[in-house]
């Protein structure tokens, strides 16, 4: 059968069906068992040359279709989401789904693994699901221990740990070319280790070696005052003991370095008023906040203490913040905002090893002074003993 019009042509014969028109065509090739859409030479069972659209569907999944690969856009139950499933619909048994490509690129949105509502670019697992191994990175070829790197959730209730990095062999964290490794422990701020800390100290990597003057070391130690204090971002009233970096800099400047970072120096919740400027652009006025510094950048935390918490860094200008906020977690009706702190370019950090090394030299100086005092005391004691003996002889001679 051969049907023609000015714009369309349909051909039906034992070999298949060929429909074409307006630059498009659909072909059913019975001999090869292939269907082509937009092509007259299909190379697979279904060959589509252009976009492939799956319309939204609010119906239920077909539970009798059996094992296979399923594509669907579902509006059922307010889901409004696309699905790719490798599953037996009759038994709900799921099977591996394998991808092969040079690379995978996700241009927008958040990616969730084991999470239907990811809250970040990559969100693995859900809170409280009990999984302690989220990511496993296999050992490289030729590694003697064949020990993988494990990134996971809580270790146990006893340790009260929210996360873990675990490896049964050596674990290296490298910052090449003089890069710094920053471990920020605000709030609790504790590090627990079983074993020892090794620091490179080989003579062969050092130059301009000089012996520290022990008397000068003692003088520096005497100038350094130890302080008791609380951190602004404290969670308990427990006092800390240590140094004030600015004071150390005045006495031992080489032990202090300056870095740029967001410091938790405010750590307070304030009332706020939010106004819409334009699409996704908002003006945030902080009420009763006299300490805002113009043209300074602050870290703001929205919905603190909830699962919808998110943070944005913003510049304080003309007495307010103007922020572009696109996350769905944002609610324009909120009335409070948590100000974490301000970004500074002169945050003082201390190399305490230099201070503690000076303690060694100072102790040596004190030890030498103590040895001198001991020697002097021994001589004085002997001299006093000799004088006592002489006085005793004189008394005997005088009959006293």
Handedness of CA 233, 235, 238, 242 (dihedral sign): negative
DSSP assignment of 63-75 equals TTS-EEEEEEEE-
Report the alpha-carbon angle 114-119-124, nearest 5: 30
Indicate the residue among 18, 33, 52 that finishes a domain. Answer: 52
The answer to whether residue 285 sits within a structural domain is yes
Whether residue 159 is predicted with pLDDT greater than 60 in this model: the reply is no
Are 359 and 344 in the same domain?
no
Identify the three-state secondary structure at position 352: helix
CB-count burial class (<10 Å; 0-12, 13-18, 19+) for 300: buried
The answer to whether residue 146 sits within a structural domain is no
Reported as a single tens digit per residue, the pLDDT across 270-319 is 999 999 998 889 999 999 888 889 999 999 999 888 878 888 999 999 99
Q: Which two tokens stand for residue 193?
A: 């280790």
The answer to whether residue 151 sits within a structural domain is no
Residue of 115 and 216 predicted with greater confidence? 216
Whether residue 15 is predicted with pLDDT greater than 70 in this model: the reply is yes
Beta-bridged to residue 73, according to DSSP, are 56, 82
Residue of 49 and 209 predicted with greater confidence? 209
Residue of 112 and 213 predicted with greater confidence? 213
Q: Which two tokens stand for residue 242?
A: 């240590």
Banded model confidence at residue 19, pLDDT cuts 50, 70, 90: confident
Whether residue 187 is predicted with pLDDT greater than 50 in this model: the reply is no
Domain count, the chain: 4
Beta-bridged to residue 229, according to DSSP, are 240
Are 360 and 216 in the same domain?
yes
Whether 255 contacts 349, CB under 8 Å? no
For 38-44, which contacts have Cβ atoms below 8 Å and span 24 or more sequence positions? none
Domain that holds residue 113: 61-117
CB-count burial class (<10 Å; 0-12, 13-18, 19+) for 371: exposed
Instruction: Please state whether the predicted TM-score (pTM) of the whole model is above 0.85.
Output: no
Are 43 and 95 in the same domain?
no
Whether 122 contacts 114, CB under 8 Å? no
CATH of residue 327:
2.40.30
Nearest to 29 by CA among 43, 39, 13, 15: 15
For tokens 């005391």, what's the residue? 377
Whether 224 contacts 247, CB under 8 Å? yes
pLDDT for 170 equals: 74
Whether residue 20 is predicted with pLDDT greater than 80 in this model: the reply is no
The answer to whether residue 194 sits within a structural domain is no
Are 356 and 344 in the same domain?
no
């Amino acid at each position: 059968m051969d049907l023609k019009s000015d714009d369309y042509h349909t051909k039906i014969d034992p070999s298949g069906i060929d429909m074409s028109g307006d630059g498009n065509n659909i072909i059913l090739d019975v001999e090869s068992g292939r269907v082509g859409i937009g092509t007259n030479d299909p190379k697979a069972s279904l060959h589509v040359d252009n976009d492939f659209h799956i319309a939204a569907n609010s119906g239920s999944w077909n539970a009798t279709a059996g094992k296979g690969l399923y594509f669907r856009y579902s509006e059922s139950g307010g889901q409004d989401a696309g699905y790719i499933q490798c599953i037996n619909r009759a038994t709900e048994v799921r099977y591996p789904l394998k991808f092969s490509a040079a690379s995978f690129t996700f241009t927008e949105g958040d990616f969730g693994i084991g999470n239907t509502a990811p809250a970040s670019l990559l969100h693995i697992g859900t809170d409280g699901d009990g999984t302690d191994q989220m990511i496993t990175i296999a050992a490289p070829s030729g590694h003697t221990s064949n020990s993988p790197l494990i990134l996971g959730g809580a270790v146990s209730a006893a340790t009260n740990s929210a996360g873990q990095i675990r490896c049964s062999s050596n674990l290296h964290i490298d910052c090449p070319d003089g890069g710094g490794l920053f471990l920020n422990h605000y709030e609790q701020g504790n590090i627990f280790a079983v074993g020892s800390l090794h620091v490179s100290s080989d003579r062969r990597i050092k130059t301009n070696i000089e012996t520290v003057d022990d008397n000068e070391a003692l003088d520096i130690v005497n100038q350094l005052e130890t302080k008791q204090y609380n951190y602004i971002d404290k969670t308990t009233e427990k006092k800390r003991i240590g140094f004030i970096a600015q004071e150390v800099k005045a006495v031992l400047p080489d032990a202090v370095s300056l870095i740029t970072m967001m410091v938790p120096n405010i750590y307070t919740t304030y009332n706020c008023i939010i106004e819409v400027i334009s699409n996704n652009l908002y003006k945030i006025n902080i009420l009763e906040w006299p300490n805002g510094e113009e043209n300074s950048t602050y870290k703001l935390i929205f919905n603190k203490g909830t699962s919808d918490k998110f943070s944005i860094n913003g510049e304080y200008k003309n007495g307010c913040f103007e922020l572009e906020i696109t996350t769905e977690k944002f609610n324009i009706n909120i009335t409070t905002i948590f100000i974490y702190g301000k970004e500074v370019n002169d945050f003082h950090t201390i190399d305490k090893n230099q201070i503690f090394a000076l303690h060694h030299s100072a102790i040596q100086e004190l030890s030498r002074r103590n040895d001198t005092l001991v020697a002097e005391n021994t001589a004085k004691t002997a001299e006093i003993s000799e004088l006592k003996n002489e006085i005793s002889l004189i008394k005997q001679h005088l009959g006293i």
